Amino acid sequence: MKHLRRLNLVLLTLVCVPSAAFALDPPLPVFDCLIEPELVADVGSPVDGVIDKFFVSKSEIVKKGQKLAQLNQMVNLSTAALARAQAEMNEKIESKQAYLDFSQRKLNRIKKLYKQKASSSFEKDEAETELKLARSELQLAKQEKLLARLEYQQVMQRLKERSIHSPFDGIVVRRHLALGESVKDKPILKIAKINPLRVELILTSEMFGLIKKDMLANIVPELPNYKPRQATVTVVDKLIDAASGTFGVRLSLPNPDYSLPSGLRCQAHFLAKQPHKKISQTTKDSTFKK
């Protein structure tokens, strides 16, 4: 009889578990979307000049910091060489230091003679003044060398600015200019970042609150032989456009092998939420105690 009573209680416990514990949320509808580059930049030059060389071609993959193009720099190279030579010159400082040492020894000798009354106060004053001038000339020579170093650094910075580098990992979309053209106030190349890609959706206000940040979706490009790829919601607009009753959603779509092009239309299938966790119940009944 005890065994029968226990069996009935177990069956009753299973029946009483809410069915919602195993239920899935209703699936979201499929949405049209557009795949775009994560970032697009028209790369230019901070200085004027003429394009001397390109190091990349259209559709070539580039890395952040990679050299893309170079402006003519013959004049800057000559200026840099002259500035470097001036910055490395030590002869003037060495000469002024030697003159300062001589002036110091001369003053020491005259002071001894002056104490012995073998030298006049005029000679002592003249030696002291000569020492002060020697110190000033040495300090001036050191300052001139410091200025030469700073000028060399400035020239090298201007020389560096004549080399155009990629601001991020991406792909060369277009060359705006050709060899020999001036870059004054003009973009040189267009670079697009396509890893990750950006997926844009426009949803109606009825969906507001259902799509949230970090949700996952399968993105199906409108091209044959392309399998769905998983993307993550990164941005959900907080404002609904009053005129159209819509709001925007953005997803990030990994594209590490650059195999998926941008500019494609697509469909977004948001993944159903995971089933709710079963309710953990610990039933303690005195009837199970012996």
Q: Where are the domains of the chain?
A: 25-38+194-270, 74-160
The DSSP output letter for 241 is B
pLDDT given at position 276: 45
**What is the reported pLDDT for 11?**
39
* Dist CA 173 CA 61 (whole Å): 10
pLDDT for the residue 119: 83
Our CA dihedral for 28, 31, 37, 39, rounded to 10 degrees, sits at: -60
Q: What is the pLDDT of residue 26?
A: 58
* The pLDDT value given to residue 84: 73
Instruction: For residues 82 and 151, give the distance between their C-alpha atoms in angstroms, rounded to a whole number.
Output: 10
- Res 25: pLDDT: 54
Residue 274's pLDDT is 34
Q: What pLDDT, on the 0 to 100 scale, is given for residue 223?
A: 86
Which parts of the chain sit beneath pLDDT 70?
1-27, 74-80, 273-290
Q: Residue 123 carries which DSSP code?
A: H
Exposure of 11 by Cβ count < 10 A (0-12 exposed, 13-18 middle, 19+ buried)?
exposed
Taking domain 25-38+194-270, whether its CATH number is 2.40.30.170 is answered by yes
pLDDT at 24: 40
High-pLDDT (> 70) share of the chain, %: 81
Collect all residues with Cβ–Cβ distance below 8 Å to 171 and sequence separation of at least 6: 59, 60, 61, 62, 191, 192, 194, 258
